[in-house]
Amino acid sequence: MTTKHTAAAAAAELSTIRDFLRYGVSRFNEADLDYGHGTTTAFDEAVFLVLETLHLPVDQLDPYLDSRLTAAEREAVAGILHARIDTRKPAPYLLNKAYIQGIPFYVDERVIVPRSYIGELLFSDLFGGDDFTLVEDPTSVERVLDLCTGSGCLAILAARIFPEAQVDAVDLSPDALEVAKRNVADSGFEDRITLHQGDLFAPLKTRKYDVIITNPPYVDAESMDALPPEFRAEPEMALAGGDDGLDIVRRILKEAPKHLTPEGGLLCEFGTGREILEAEYPHLDFLWLQTANSFGEVFWLTREQLKAGK
């Protein structure tokens, strides 16, 4: 005989954060949830949901593990854990919050959940480091462009890394730009970040940039058809990149040289299509970059390399 698990029963029977984490992991495994929106395991997902719901630091679990919760807290935690199962929405949509490099951003269903590898790269030694760098002096960068900005998170991170730069951020979706507007206002960089609605470079006319960053839609058609519910909750236009996933990447490669300064460069996340790009652009000297969880899913190209590869 099986017992139906309910949020009300969990709130009545469980008492500590440890109890709710164990319960969440059990229920998430039972429901066969999918992850990838800031977490990769049932445990990390449960930690994120529980600590955020309790307004506790998401990177400080141990001090609170055996804390007993009030009745109202138990109801709130049980409710969000069950909402994750019942709706199959990504946790950041349920919380209206996602983190990149420890920085919180507002998110909802109007934008893709921020998770770009570019965030990690911007905060690495590749920008202003002592050894090999893409940009030796971040303070020398005067203009930055974030294409397909979505929630505006990468534009905001760029404003942090390049403290003297004016940042333009472009997205085709007016709804996404409403979310980006909120994040830009919260960031304190309103005087340095300008949002533009339009198709890639179209609203920018002839402007040129020292750095262009972009995390465009790059999911191929086969993968789109197989997406689990968590990813189907996101805007399709923020994911779908055509048959092989690289339709928009090709457009960016074609148009970027016209919008880069002589010493400028393009930082692009494109997914797992490296072999396709290498075969299609044999004369482009891609620099394939590595992060903690990826290799060769982000490239850097200078304007000089882009022009030479034509």
Domains of the chain: 5-93 (no CATH), 116-307 (3.40.50.150)
pLDDT at residue 53, rounded to an integer: 98
pLDDT at residue 156, rounded to an integer: 98
pLDDT at residue 309, rounded to an integer: 67
pLDDT at residue 4, rounded to an integer: 79
* Exposed/middle/buried for residue 20 (C-beta within 10 Å: 0-12, 13-18, 19+): buried
The CA-atom distances, in angstroms, between 157 and each of 30, 40, 165, 192, 213 are 37, 23, 12, 12, 11
Q: Which residue has the tokens 């309790």?
A: 54
pLDDT in tens, 33-62: 999 999 999 999 999 999 999 999 999 999
pLDDT at residue 2, rounded to an integer: 40
Q: Residues 299, 270: contact at Cβ < 8 Å?
A: yes
Q: pTM of the full predicted structure?
A: 0.93
User: Which segments of the chain have a pLDDT < 50?
Assistant: 1-2
What's the maximum distance between 2 C-alpha atoms anywhere in the chain? 71
pLDDT at residue 182, rounded to an integer: 98
pLDDT in tens, 180-237: 999 999 999 999 999 999 999 999 999 999 999 999 999 999 999 999 999 999 999 9
